[in-house]
């Protein structure tokens, strides 16, 4: 008999906290104080509660660079206007972002 509880299909730490996109390993960066401050300055939302197991703890290199350019005045806006809003999933069938995102066919370039 199979379990009615299903575990997460994809690791949250393979997704960017800012944009929510899947990030290949070499482009994953930790969330630094700079990222927290720039994210708050741009979106007016604080990055907190990173101890939650369902929250990504990484940022993609592109989001860091866009935040850096925005803070220095070289970029007028991010590539999106609304950040990813993370909430605790109720189940892993249809409410877990990491489970409903299909990663088949995503490869790093050689």
Question: Residue 32 — very low, low, confident or very high, per pLDDT cuts 50/70/90?
Answer: very high
Domains identified in the chain and CATH numbers: 12-100 (3.40.1800)
Largest CA distance in the chain: 58
Q: Distances from the Cα of 61 to the Cαs of 17, 26, 87, 99, in angstroms? A: 11, 9, 23, 23
pTM of the complete model: 0.77
Instruction: Provide the β-strand partners of residue 30.
Output: 58
**Phi, psi angles (nearest 5°) of residue 2:** -80, 155
Least confident of 27-36, 52-61, 69-78, 84-93: 84-93
Residues written for the chain: 110
Whether the Cβ atoms of residue 57 and residue 31 lie closer than 8 Å to each other: yes
Extract the tokens encoding 101.
Answer: 């995102």
Q: What is the pLDDT, as a whole number, of residue 93? A: 61
Greater confidence (39 vs 90) lies with 39
Q: What would the pLDDT profile of 58-79 be if each residue is shown by its tens digit?
A: 999 999 999 999 999 999 988 8
């Amino acid at each position: 008999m199979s379990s009615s509880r299903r575990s997460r299909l994809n690791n949250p730490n393979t997704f960017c906290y800012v944009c929510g996109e899947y990030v290949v390993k070499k482009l994953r960066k930790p969330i630094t104080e700079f990222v927290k401050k720039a994210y708050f300055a741009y979106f007016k939302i604080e990055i907190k509660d990173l101890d939650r197991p369902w929250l990504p703890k990484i940022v993609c290199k592109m989001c860091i660079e866009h935040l850096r350019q925005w803070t220095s005045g070289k970029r007028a806006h991010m590539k999106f206007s609304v950040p990813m809003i993370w909430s605790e999933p109720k189940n892993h069938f249809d409410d877990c972002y990491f489970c409903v995102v299909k990663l088949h066919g995503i490869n790093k370039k050689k």
